[in-house]
Structure 1
Amino acid sequence: MYKRILVPTDGSDITGKAVQTAISLAKVTGASLATVSVKEPFPYSAISEMQPVPPQEFYDAQERIAAERVKAVVNEANAAGLNCDGYTVEALHPWEAILDQAKQQGCDLIVMASHGRRGVTALLLGSETNRVLTHSPLPVLVVK
């Protein structure tokens, strides 16, 4: 059925549900797992003489946070008896990075969380999950 599943993580509680779903599905189908956390690029438009955080400090913090999120998913998969490859990538648009990572890793399913925005909030803020659904050539399982 599925051979390789990608589960993006942002460290939120709802993402934890998606991780559990991906692990369960991987066990049933014999698929391998991969996870990705997307780092924000440095906001160069905000550079001024009063810049509160130097760029390298910003990059280091983003990498540390993303690596911790990935490690948590990898550890959870390992505890369930599965191997999981973890990646951190920097991107302006997380949905594009998720789709790129799925392609690079040869994934045939993406399992991700819905953050449950509705109405005007969803319309104005948009949703990375919605963008992945809209643009993905792969099946996407959305966990609520």
Structure 2
Amino acid sequence: MFNHILVATDGSLLSEAAVDKAVNFAREAGAKVTIVTATEPFHVLSTGSKQLANTKETYERHVKAEAARYLGDAERKCKAQGVQCNVVQVEHNHPYQAIIDTAKQLGCDVIAMASHGRRGVSALVLGSETLKVLTHSSIPVLVYR
């Protein structure tokens, strides 16, 4: 049914658990996996603490190092399970759109990702990349909680 699964990760514990589950699912389905992490570019005017605390160069170096760590961990999990894997780091002002665009460009059958499961006011205020992917994607989305 699924031949190519895009797995989105942000390095959080929930996201790491979703990677584990998605890799197991891919192994059982005989599917290949692409792991993606989407980062936001540096903005001079920002409310993001990582951007406020760093220069552009420091921020970019830090973000690339974090992304490489997340992707490397996920790639090792795939190899340990015998699952064919590619990793992609993309930069976009809207991470949810980067996830959807990557899935479309690579011809993925499904997008797998974690959800923090926020409800009520915190969900409205904080938003959710997962919710945005669910809302805007024409590709099926598998959400792990």
1:53 and 2:77 equivalent?
A: no
Bigger Cα Rg? 1
TM-score (norm 1): 0.92
Provide the residue aligned with 1:4 in structure 2. Answer: 4
SS in 2 for 1:45: coil
Identity across the alignment (%): 44
1:31-50 to 2 correspondences below 5 Å: 31-45=31-45
How far apart in 2 are the matches of 1:16 and 1:52?
A: 26
1:84 and 2:69 equivalent?
A: no
1:1-144 to 2 correspondences below 5 Å: 1-45=1-45, 53-144=54-145
CA gap 1:25/1:64 in 2 versus in 1, 3 angstroms: same
How far apart in 1 are the matches of 2:18 and 2:118?
A: 16
Q: CA deviation at 1:54?
A: 2.6
- Structure 1: tracts of 5 or more residues without a match: none
Cα deviation digits, residues 36-68 of structure 1 (max 9, x gap): 11112111225xxxx853322221111111111
Q: Which amino acid aligns with 1:69?
A: Y
How far apart in 2 are the matches of 1:20 and 1:2?
A: 17
Q: Which amino acid aligns with 2:76?
A: N
SS in 1 for 2:45: helix
SS in 2 for 1:43: coil
Root-mean-square deviation (Å): 1.3
Does structure 2 retain, via aligned residues, the 8 Å contact 1:2–1:108? yes
How far apart in 2 are the matches of 1:52 and 1:8?
A: 26
